[in-house]
């Protein structure tokens, strides 16, 4: 990460997933990175986006570990105990929609609220949140996947709004939504064979390269793993 200052500090939320774990591993291999904290459901402190209080507890616990130059939010829910992605309106269920928004929108929003105050002042910092191309309203041509699409679209609005606010207090900061592509992970497992998927380590490498190239004027944008800017 050549764009971050030498000795930068990184925080990865959602490190128990395939992509979060791969991102943390590559940051640990960067000689310019002085510290990497990777938090997930089983870490200490634990971070579970289904339990919002854990974010507050983690933020308090880590208050003396920053300031952070890089915060990565690498969580996402497409399917789970509440069901699979809905193909039609008739398949919509309140429980599944609520679960999708809890992990894909509310959790990342609260992470921004808790950890943005811990960003480095007076130097470059980046907050990158995993979104998804299917959360693009302008790119939606196939329909379906109502809860996932809607929760990621809402996340994109959170990112855009947070970028406007942080520009006032952290003019060198970048806040970005990132589309990682179809990654070999538990999230994509039921859909293998229908789309091209890539190893998590490759996706992590690509995402970090995109982050490295973003400038403050890019803050609030939505970017794919290949550097393409995506429509809202």
- CATH number for 82: 3.40.50.720
Q: Does residue 146 form part of some domain?
A: yes
Counted domains in the chain: 1
Q: Does residue 76 form part of some domain?
A: yes
Which two structure tokens, joined as six digits, stand for 99? 């679960």
Q: Does residue 55 form part of some domain?
A: yes
Q: Does residue 232 form part of some domain?
A: no
Give the whole-angstrom CA distance, residue 163 versus residue 109: 12
Q: Which residues of 176-204 are buried (b: 16+ CB within 10 A; e: fewer)?
A: bbbbbbbbbbebbeeeeeeeebbebbebb
pTM of the model: 0.91
The per-residue pLDDT for range 96-153, each reduced to its tens digit, is: 999 999 999 999 999 999 999 999 999 999 999 999 999 899 988 888 889 999 999 9
Average pLDDT rounded to a whole number, residues 200-216: 96
Q: Does residue 212 form part of some domain?
A: yes
Q: Does residue 229 form part of some domain?
A: no
Q: Does residue 231 form part of some domain?
A: no
Residues of the chain above pLDDT 70, percent:
93
> Coil, strand or helix: which one is 69?
coil
The per-residue pLDDT for range 186-195, each reduced to its tens digit, is: 555 455 554 5
First to last CA, the chain: 27
Q: Does residue 191 form part of some domain?
A: yes
The boundaries of the domain holding residue 24 are: 8-224
């Amino acid at each position: 990460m050549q764009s971050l200052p030498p000795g930068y500090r990184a925080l990865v939320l959602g490190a128990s997933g395939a992509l979060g774990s791969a991102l943390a591993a590559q940051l640990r291999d960067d000689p310019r990175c002085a510290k990497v904290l990777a938090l997930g459901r089983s870490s200490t402190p634990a971070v579970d986006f289904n339990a919002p209080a854990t974010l507050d507890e983690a933020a308090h616990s880590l208050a003396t570990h920053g300031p952070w130059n890089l915060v990565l939010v690498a969580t996402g829910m497409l399917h789970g105990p509440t069901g699979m992605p809905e193909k039609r309106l008739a398949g919509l269920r309140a429980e599944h929609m609520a679960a999708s928004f809890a992990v894909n929108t509310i959790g990342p929003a609260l992470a921004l609220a808790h950890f943005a105050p811990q960003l480095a002042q007076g130097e470059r910092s980046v907050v990158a949140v995993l979104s998804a191309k299917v959360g693009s309203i302008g790119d939606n041509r196939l329909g379906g996947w109502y809860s996932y699409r809607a929760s990621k679209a809402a996340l994109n609005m959170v990112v855009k709004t947070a970028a406007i606010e942080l520009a006032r207090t952290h003019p060198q900061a970048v806040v970005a939504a990132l589309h990682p592509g179809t990654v070999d992970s538990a999230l994509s497992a039921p859909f293998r064979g229908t789309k091209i998927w890539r190893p998590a380590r490759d996706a992590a490498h690509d995402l970090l390269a995109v982050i490295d190239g973003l400038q403050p004027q890019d803050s609030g944008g939505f970017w794919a793993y290949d550097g393409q800017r995506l429509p809202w």
